[in-house]
Amino acid sequence: MRFLTAGESHGPELTAIIEGLPAGMPLDVEMINKDLKRRQVGYGRGGRMKIEQDQVRITSGLRHGKTLGSPLTLVIENKDWKNWQSVMGIDPVTEKEKVKRQVTRPRPGHADLVGGVKYNHRDLRNVLERSSARETAVRVAIGAVSKAILSASDCEVMAHVTEIGGIKASISEGTSLGDLKMKSERSDVRCCDENAAGLMREAIDRAKKEGNTLGGIVEVVVTGLPIGLGSYTQWDQKLDAKLAQAMLSINAFKGVEFGVGFEAARLPGSDVMDEIIWDQSQGYTRKSNRLGGFEGGMTNGMPVIVRGVMKPIPTLYKPLESVDINTKEVYTASVERSDSCAVPAASVIAEAVIATELAKALLDKFDGDSYTNLIGTIKEYKNYTTEY
Ligand code: EPS
């Protein structure tokens, strides 16, 4: 399976084409829309989310509720487009018009300046429109399709926020995945710890009042994966590395860890490895899951646990210093609108991109021409791994 996305933040729409889907897979458009909604509603979002009401339109690859095995095209309309038609139109404009509309003041922390230098754009809007996190809407739609593929392996995928602006969620050991899922879905900061969620909200309010923004940490958990997705045999086949890339491809993400993650640097080996056990019903499992479901770049059958860290959004109401690329004069940035915290939304995006990479790995390993074959071959293989 492979896909491409296209679309500018204030252009008419976002588009994705996914190729290599199993044929005959049930796909519920409302299930995709539900995930799009989850991405939009988090606490700390700015004015743009009051304009957009993301809904997917499928224009190829689906018939009577089931995939055809041909490319699936997903389209999400940008409602804000109607306010940007002249700025973002495709027809040539006069030099005078062009200069009048030019963005020449790069925002620190954004792709603006580097993208401008790299592609020799004198209008930084040519960079910021595509580097915008708006693109993540369509990746959430791709993630919803990927979750349908993962259902062939009875996978459960969930994501929650574990930290915002230095406030950490405390989650008692042994909390079930179902409980985590239910609590995070109910929370507008997508955090399972109600007490921490309250403090996170207060921190977001404070940051907003001060013209500042906040980052945080999100965690994705996936159960039900078979042993042996990915491979140790070649560097670019290691699946944890692919998940790390997917996580870092989310706008503003700066780091990734699995299981105990960076804590492993401080622990002795006996507190990091997971002891192996076997029983007839479950086959090989581990006594703990400190390695987050990966050994040798392959899934080991334990839940995948992966976290990503998001920096605070770089568009600040509190002005930061930069330089105008035409005059080279110093200026302090002024902002029309921005989110003060997008970490809750980012957890839904993280869930989607991780689901997408795992679905690709599942289709790499198993016969995915038809959904029925996929279910059958996974089941057969899981029986084999239990008995091995
Ligand atoms: C974004 C800036 C804001 C966000 C946007 C990402 O948009 P605007 O510039 O139109 O105010 O709202 O996020 C989305 C549109 C979205 O759907 O998540 C940026 O610069 O990355």
Q: What is the mean pLDDT of each run of 10 residues along the chain (388 residues)?
A: 98 98 98 97 90 97 98 98 96 91 93 98 97 98 98 98 98 90 96 97 95 96 98 98 98 98 98 97 96 98 98 89 96 79 98 98 97 98 97
The protein residue whose alpha carbon is closest to atom 3 in ligand 1 is 338
Among 8, 134, 334, the mutation site with the greatest number of ligand 1 atoms within 8 A of its Cβ is 134
Cα(136) to ligand 1 centroid in Å equals 10
The minimum-distance atom of ligand 1 relative to the CA of 128 is: 20
DSSP for residue 256:
E
State the pLDDT at residue 334.
66
The DSSP call for residue 311 is P
Going from the Cα of 132 to the center of ligand 1, the distance in angstroms, rounded, reads 6
Residue 187's pLDDT is: 97
Ligand 1, atom 12, residue with closest C-alpha: 48
Q: What is the CA radius of gyration of the chain?
A: 22
User: What pLDDT score does 173 carry?
Assistant: 83
The residues, ordered by sequence, that sit 6+ positions from 310 with a Cβ below 8 Å of its Cβ are: 215, 216, 217, 218, 250, 252, 253, 254, 342, 343, 346
Closest Cα partner for 138 from 256, 250, 26, 239? Answer: 250
Give 134 Cα–ligand 1 centroid separation in angstroms.
5
Residue 299: Cβ within 10 Å count? 23
Q: What's the topology of domain 2-387?
A: Chorismate synthase, AroC fold (3.60.150)
Q: Which two tokens stand for residue 124?
A: 């930084």
Spatial separation of the C-alpha atoms in residues 32 and 144, rounded to whole Å = 5
Task: Specify the ligand 1 atom closest to the Cα of 54.
Answer: 17
pLDDT of residue 338: 81
Q: Which of 209, 220, 94, 99 is nearest to 156 (CA)?
A: 220
Element (H, E) at 277: strand 276-279
The ligand 1 atom at the shortest distance from the C-alpha of residue 48 is: 12
* Domains in the chain: boundaries: 2-387
Q: What residue type is assigned to position 125 of the chain?
A: R
Q: Is 39 in the pocket of ligand 1 (CB under 6 A)?
A: no
Query: From CA 56, how far away is CA 136, in angstroms rounded?
Result: 13
Instruction: Classify residue 318 as left (phi > 0), alpha (psi -120 to 50) or beta.
Output: beta
Question: What are the helix and strand counts (H, E) for the chain?
Answer: 12, 17
Side-chain half-sphere CA neighbours of 289 within 13 A: 20
Q: Tokens 């509720």, residue?
A: 65
Overall size of the chain counted in residues = 388
CA–CA gap between residue 301 and residue 239 (Å, rounded): 13
